[in-house]
């Protein structure tokens, strides 16, 4: 998932708009709540630069100190609006205002001092470029139209009966899921890296809004149908962030879930209610205002106000409350350092369903960056789970 706050400071301005009277307060509350709700479900069109390159040499790059640049691990950096890309690794030194990291590769473009954009995916292009693995472009037909996907066959080149469907997070790209492909390929699984409605390279949904998994699951079901029609007998579902929420809805709603033999969730949204309250607190929004926003999302009467075709029932996304309904073995990976999707629901779900859920807890990694922080551990736990299917 692209990590930005789900909402921005104008929410607070909207909340203050109705302080002149009782009617004004009520109207201002609804306006602020509606703004918050719309921001949560509106796809991000812009990808602004978010880090500064201060200097570089043949082996290192020095960035301005930010929460992103200061965390250990390996990452990518987009240059020149995405035209260029470099990869960086271990932190060499830090001071009060900067972080110097080892330069691993210049993948394209020219490394220059100036603004850049952090790339938590590390990889920058399709599998054949980033991983040097043979891949294929395929098209998956969903109810919103054709959805582009990448297909990577296992070692040996022919797709057998074991297929994995990889689902990226909110506002992210298919490159987010590349980290799992080498492990899956070595284990004999065909990987299908999918897009879904409202992605930048996919058709818009009927309302052009994210539905928090409550409509996007149909696109994952379509991908599963594609896999079955091409010989899949057993399916793994892997989801990152909101991709995890989509996977959980797919398990609940799709008849094809009977083909699923395992689920891997990385930094998953297990309860959107918790995520909404968390981002409300980040913006110092009163709890009642967040509850109003949640109610607006789920109300048929407020569909036009928040811009959705069908209500979004946030309660249906609470898989701690719905834990007894789960039937598939899961590996859940989450981090105490995740400041975008709180770890609490993952901990609670693992506690409620120890018979199904294997839980791997990181400490320092930020959202969807467990692999970046400790790739050896991440690949080891994924490999063990896959080999156990």
Q: Is there a domain that residue 175 lies in?
A: yes
Residues 295 and 200 in one domain: no
372 and 308, same structural domain? no
Do residues 243 and 168 touch, judged by C-beta distance below 8 A? yes
Does residue 332 form part of some domain?
yes
Amino acid 45: pLDDT = 80
Whether residue 114 is found in the same domain as residue 175: no
What average pLDDT does the segment 108-136 reach? 98
What tokens does 281 get?
Answer: 């607190």
Q: Does residue 346 sit within a domain?
A: yes
Read off the CATH number of the domain in which 112 is found: 2.40.30
The residues facing 145 across adjacent strands are 142
Question: What does the DSSP assignment read for 112-131?
Answer: -SEEEEEETT---S-HHHHT
Whether residue 262 sits in one domain with residue 160: yes
Angle (CA) 39 2 240, round 5°: 105
**Structural domain containing residue 266:** 127-271+318-387
pLDDT at 76: 99
pTM of the model: 0.94
Residue 46, in any domain of the structure: no
Query: Mind listing the pLDDT tens digit for each residue in 190-226?
Result: 999 999 999 999 999 999 999 999 999 999 999 999 9
Has residue 158 been placed in a domain? yes
Same structural domain, 29 and 78: no
Q: Are residues 180 and 301 in the same domain?
A: no
| Cβ-Cβ contacts under 8 Å for 20 (sequence gap 6 or more) | none
Based on the fold, state whether residues 278 and 332 are members of the same structural domain.
no
Does the pLDDT at position 319 exceed 90? yes
Q: Which of 78, 101, 119 is the last residue of a domain?
A: 119
Question: Are residues 136 and 86 both part of a single domain?
Answer: no
**How confident is the model over 166-195, as pLDDT tens digits?**
999 999 999 999 999 999 999 999 999 999
Q: Is the pLDDT of residue 34 over 70?
A: yes
Last residue of a domain, one of 86, 119, 152: 119
pLDDT score recorded for residue 2 = 60
Domain co-membership, 234 together with 292: no
- Co-location of 157 and 233 in the same domain: yes
User: Does 192 fall in a domain?
Assistant: yes
Query: Do 94 and 182 share a structural domain?
Result: no
List the CATH number of the domain containing 267: 3.40.50.1820
Confidence of residue 346 (pLDDT cuts 50, 70, 90): very high
Is the domain of 189 the same as that of 227? yes
- CB burial string 49-88: b at 16+ within 10 A, e below: bebbbbebeeebbbbebeebbebebbbbbbbbeeebbbbb
Among residues 315, 330, 345, the one where a domain terminates is 315
Domain count, the chain: 3
Domain presence at residue 20: yes
Tell me: pLDDT of 18 over 50: no
Can you give the pLDDT at residue 133? 98
| Domain assignment of residue 334, yes or no | yes
């Amino acid at each position: 998932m692209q990590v930005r706050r789900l909402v921005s400071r104008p929410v607070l301005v909207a909340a203050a708009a109705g302080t002149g009277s009782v009617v004004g307060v009520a109207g201002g509350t609804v306006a602020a709540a509606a703004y918050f709700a719309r921001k949560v479900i509106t796809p991000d069109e812009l990808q602004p630069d978010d880090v500064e390159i201060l200097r570089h040499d043949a082996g290192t790059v020095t960035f301005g100190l930010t929460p992103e640049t200061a965390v250990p691990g390996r990452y990518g950096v987009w240059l020149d609006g995405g035209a260029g890309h470099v990869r960086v690794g271990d932190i060499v030194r830090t001071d009060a205002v900067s972080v110097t990291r080892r330069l691993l590769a210049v993948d394209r473009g020219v490394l220059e001092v100036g603004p850049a954009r952090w790339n938590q995916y590390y990889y920058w292009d399709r599998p054949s470029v980033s991983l040097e693995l043979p891949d294929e472009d395929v098209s998956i037909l969903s109810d919103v139209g054709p959805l582009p996907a990448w297909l990577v066959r296992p070692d040996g080149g022919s797709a057998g009966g074991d297929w994995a469907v990889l689902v990226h997070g909110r506002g992210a790209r298919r490159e987010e899921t590349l980290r799992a492909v080498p492990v899956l390929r070595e284990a004999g699984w065909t990987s299908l890296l999918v897009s879904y409605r409202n992605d930048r390279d996919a058709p818009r949904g009927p309302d052009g809004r994210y539905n928090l998994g409550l409509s996007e699951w149909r696109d994952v079901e379509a991908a599963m149908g594609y896999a079955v029609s091409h010989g899949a007998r057993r399916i793994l579902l892997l989801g990152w962030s909101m991709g995890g929420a989509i996977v959980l809805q797919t398990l609940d709603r799709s008849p094809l879930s009977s083909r699923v033999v395992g689920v891997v969730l990385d930094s998953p949204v297990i309860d959107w209610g918790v995520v909404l309250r968390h981002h409300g607190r980040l913006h110092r929004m009163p709890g009642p205002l967040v509850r109003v926003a949640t109610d607006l999302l789920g109300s048929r009467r407020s569909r036009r106000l928040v811009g959705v075709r069908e209500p979004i029932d946030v309660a249906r996304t609470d898989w701690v409350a719905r834990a007894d309904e789960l039937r598939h073995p899961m590996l859940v990976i989450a981090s105490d350092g995740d400041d975008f999707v709180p770890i609490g629901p993952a901990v609670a779900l693992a506690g409620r369903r120890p018979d199904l859920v294997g839980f791997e807890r990181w400490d320092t990694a930020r959202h969807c960056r467990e692999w970046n922080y400790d790739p050896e551990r991440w690949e080891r736990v994924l490999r063990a789970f896959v080999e156990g299917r």
